[in-house]
Structure 1
Amino acid sequence: MPSATPPQVTSTASAGPDATARAPRRPSAPTLTPLPVPHGLFLVLIAVCTAVTAANIYVAAPLLPLIARDFGSTPSAVAWIASVAQFGYAAGLLFFAPLGDSVNRRRLVAVLSVVTAGALALGAAASGATALAAAVLVASAATVVPQLLVPLVAERAPAHRRASHVAALIAGLFTGIVAARVLGGLVGQAFGWRYVFLGAAALTALLGLASAAVLPTENRKRSGPLLAGLAHLPGVVRGSAELRRACIRQAGMYGAWSALWTSLALLLTGRGGDGYGMTTATAGLFGLFGLAASLVAPLAGGLVDRFGASKVVAYGYGLAAVSVPLFWLGGGALWALCAAAVAIHMALVANHVANQTLALTTTRTPAVANTAYVVAGFAGGALASALAGGAFTHWGWSGVCAVAALWLALGWATTAIPARYRQVRAA
């Protein structure tokens, strides 16, 4: 869609491959107050805090059988609690994440960490599914601390190392997701699901308050309504073609990953034509393949800093495209399934690092832009997961792979074709 042409700027910290990207020029960086701790320690602490808070979104999922047994129910009857966590996180992203541009993040991180810890503790004491779901909803909505800290880290990072620093937080995020699914299940089996919730509450309070203590002092004065960032979100998205491209490509990639990864348990535990007949515990160990994402994140950050976001996204999509037929073969060959699991995680994290760096550097309001980016990815993943469940019911594992392939095709084509059209018109 034609629009006024803004000044040309580099869309990431690296010039060259992305130098042709056009985006609104961000204002000159404000004078930054000193950090109370060395920068390296600051980055490590923020990454660990990101891991713990991200794990809270998924802490209930591996514990559902234990929760059902404790409440005298069946796993299918309490499965909706895991969905409540996703809806809570989406609500928190919309209402809390944009505040990073307008309020003191030190105070906000501390308050959200305490609220999350309190909600998890109440969840550990819940006597029924409804009370537990309410606690999970509040905890998930308040556990958006990672999305408040990513823009801060990007703002503080040297220009030539910005993507690498963002990648450190993304590595922490994926490590937290793996820990929630693997360690949460093991600890819950040994000590009970309530102790997992209590442990998550303690870690969240400890690391959240510690992270708040090392954040730089910010003397911000709000000049409008508290939720002004949310109101400005549509305009920010309309005003940046690069942000829209990052949102769509992340929605396509995360949707493909979600379709495959959320349906994988059905394949592993099922029997007959579409299933390996594994136990739930054995199938859960497949979550360890998520560690590939944590290991690749720093490498992806370095590649973005060196070659630019566009090239990394293109290679990420190429790797994901290779992983889909491997997943299809994995319906009958375990080696192909293992290889595909590693490949899709590598593709996802490379795409995420590149696109999130792009989203953080193309507007004057990075927290609002980051909210749009994360919500777009979440929406793409949620919709693809819903379609994949129905596809598995009707067409088996091949149907799930078809949904993933469709999402990748839509994510790439809807951004690559308009970009090519603009290049032709400019020539």
Structure 2
Amino acid sequence: MPANPRPWKTAPSNTTSSNATSSHTTPSSPFSVPPGLFLVLIALCTAVTAANIYIAAPLLPLMARDFGSTPSAIAWIASVAQFGYAAGLLFFAPLGDSVNRRKLVMVLSLVTSGALVLGAAASGATALAAAVLVASAATVVPQLLVPLVAERAPAHRRASHVAALIAGLFTGIVAARVLGGLAGQAFGWRYVFLGAATLTAVLGLASAAVLPAENRRRSGPLFAGLAHLPGVVRGSAELRRACIRQAGMYGAWSALWTSLALLLTGHGDDGYGMTTATAGLFGLFGLAASVVAPLAGGLVDRFGAAKVVAYGYTLAAVSVPLFWLGGGALWALCAAAVAIHMALVSSHVANQTLALTTTSTPAVANTAYVVAGFAGGALASAFAGTAFTRWGWTGVCAVAALWLALGWATTAIRVRKAPGARAT
């Protein structure tokens, strides 16, 4: 992908013979903002929309009490959110190569807000899960914005620019756990959903207003990008590797992180007996991801993706036994939380940069990459919920270890490179 020396001006979209669209973009927007402020606003929008995927996890104990159930019995709602996000990515994210992203961001932000409002009014777990499914499917705005940033960043700074948005994404995840837990304890989980709906609408519309104007004319079906997705994946061995190894990493993180509230708020041998608010504060360890993301971006720009992913997997492998010890030792749980976030974000920056630059259809490639990651995460979360019910925290750690092992097995398979090609 050629570099654009003016990263925040629009450029014609990459096209291949398989694309069903033709596009033309113009470098104007209703509101002109400095490049630095543009990136900050996009990062904030990414943070808020990413938080919506995880908003339910720290609130499970409060929801269970409201619905007359137990936290472990409704833990599947966290998995529903991830499956919904994966489905939304599959259908909506490829549109970034073919439709006006400004209008798409606006519509999806409003749909997400509306679904969160309905979730706040839900009278039972089934209705809440349906609302979470819709909200998660529509909250794919970050993955429409990341390819745009990557397309317009200088080649030698592309990973660093992508890392800025990933830092925003993980900040949103931390906010969902920490602020969501505190606000839920103080005001109730329904008000947390209403607050998330308001922030999503405000920042989504603001981001849409400052996006570069695009006048794209489709020459094929609306979801042509989805139809081309299998071919794009088959045509790039590097993209396949990035998808599977991140599915392994994200699955391990998701199994541990979505089950953590059950451990922290549980009683007896399977918990620490914390309140929802106190357990939510544990999410502050996730700020390690926001700090590491810019560093990881610089390392990828300098050394390539393969080395950064290898270091990430090594760190994740160390974190799993620490998490297991953390079932009875709080210091180990704290150390493991920092380690797993550092591992996840470094691997994510490397793999997503590779996915965005390995084909001429970045939105479709990015869709394949993120869907693979979230599908791996959703499956791991589902298995982890069952494992916690049957075998406690040890079962959750076993699920995380299995996902890492599967991801690393694929990572270890080297791809034959053409003469003179750069290793990734």
TM-score using structure 2 length: 0.87
Within 1, Cα distance between the matches of 2:196 and 2:326? Answer: 34
Residue of 302, 323, 335 corresponding to 2:298: 302
Give structure 2 stretches of 5+ with no counterpart. 3-15, 420-424
Equivalent residue for 1:284? Answer: 280
Partners of 2:242 and 2:354 within 8 A in 1: yes
Equivalent residue for 2:258? Answer: 262
2:95 corresponds to 1:92: no
Secondary structure at 2:62 match in 1: helix
Equivalent residue for 1:397? Answer: 393
Deviation at 1:412, TM superposition (A): 1.7
Amino acid at match of 1:135: A
Equivalent residue for 2:9? Answer: none
Residue of 161, 184, 188 corresponding to 2:180: 184
Secondary structure at 1:363 match in 2: coil
Alignment of structure 1 residues 227-246 onto 2, 5 Å: 227-246=223-242
2:354 corresponds to 1:350: no
Alignment of structure 1 residues 310-329 onto 2, 5 Å: 310-329=306-325
Residue of 158, 162, 174 corresponding to 2:158: 162
* 1:392-414 Cα shifts (integer Å, max 9, x gaps): 44544334333322322221222
2:98 corresponds to 1:112: no
Residue of 170, 177, 190 corresponding to 1:174: 170
* 1:233-265 Cα shifts (integer Å, max 9, x gaps): 111000001101100110111111122223333
Residue of 342, 362, 369 corresponding to 1:366: 362
Within 1, Cα distance between the matches of 2:89 and 2:145? Answer: 13
* 1:203-261 Cα shifts (integer Å, max 9, x gaps): 11111111001100111111211111111111100000110110011011111112222
Aligned residues: 403
Amino acid at match of 2:235: G
Q: Which has the higher mean CA deviation after the structures are superposed, 321-330 or 207-216?
A: 321-330
Cα distance change on mapping 1:414 and 1:105 into 2, 3 Å: same
Deviation at 1:31, TM superposition (A): 7.7
Give structure 1 stretches of 5+ with no counterpart. 1-8, 11-23
Equivalent residue for 1:20? Answer: none
Equivalent residue for 2:422? Answer: none
2:226 corresponds to 1:215: no
* 1:156-203 Cα shifts (integer Å, max 9, x gaps): 111111111111111111111111121112112222323222211111
Q: Which has the higher mean CA deviation after the structures are superposed, 233-242 or 129-138?
A: 129-138
Equivalent residue for 2:12? Answer: none
Within 2, Cα distance between the matches of 1:62 and 1:392? Answer: 16
Q: Which has the higher mean CA deviation after the structures are superposed, 70-79 or 85-94?
A: 70-79
Equivalent residue for 2:27? Answer: 33
Amino acid at match of 1:180: A
Cα distance change on mapping 1:390 and 1:119 into 2, 3 Å: closer
* 1:341-387 Cα shifts (integer Å, max 9, x gaps): 10110000000001000000011111111111011111212222333
Deviation at 1:422, TM superposition (A): 10
Equivalent residue for 2:244? Answer: 248
Secondary structure at 1:332 match in 2: coil
> Percent identity between the aligned chains?
89
Within 1, Cα distance between the matches of 2:62 and 2:271? Answer: 23
Cα distance change on mapping 1:189 and 1:394 into 2, 3 Å: closer
Secondary structure at 1:175 match in 2: helix
Equivalent residue for 1:153? Answer: 149
Cα distance change on mapping 1:278 and 1:190 into 2, 3 Å: closer
Partners of 2:58 and 2:181 within 8 A in 1: yes
Amino acid at match of 1:97: A
Secondary structure at 1:96 match in 2: helix
Partners of 2:120 and 2:193 within 8 A in 1: yes
Equivalent residue for 1:44? Answer: 40
Amino acid at match of 2:277: A
Residue of 333, 337, 355 corresponding to 2:333: 337
2:130 corresponds to 1:140: no
Cα distance change on mapping 1:132 and 1:324 into 2, 3 Å: closer
Secondary structure at 2:217 match in 1: coil
Partners of 2:254 and 2:377 within 8 A in 1: yes
Deviation at 1:42, TM superposition (A): 0.7
Q: Which has the higher mean CA deviation after the structures are superposed, 272-281 or 99-108?
A: 272-281
2:400 corresponds to 1:408: no
What's the C-alpha RMSD, in Å, of the aligned pairs? 2.9
Within 2, Cα distance between the matches of 1:201 and 1:175? Answer: 18
* 1:253-305 Cα shifts (integer Å, max 9, x gaps): 11111222233334334455554343443333221111111111111111111
Residue of 381, 398, 423 corresponding to 1:385: 381
Q: Which has the higher mean CA deviation after the structures are superposed, 223-232 or 111-120?
A: 111-120
Within 1, Cα distance between the matches of 2:326 and 2:159? Answer: 33
Cα distance change on mapping 1:302 and 1:34 into 2, 3 Å: farther
Deviation at 1:421, TM superposition (A): 11
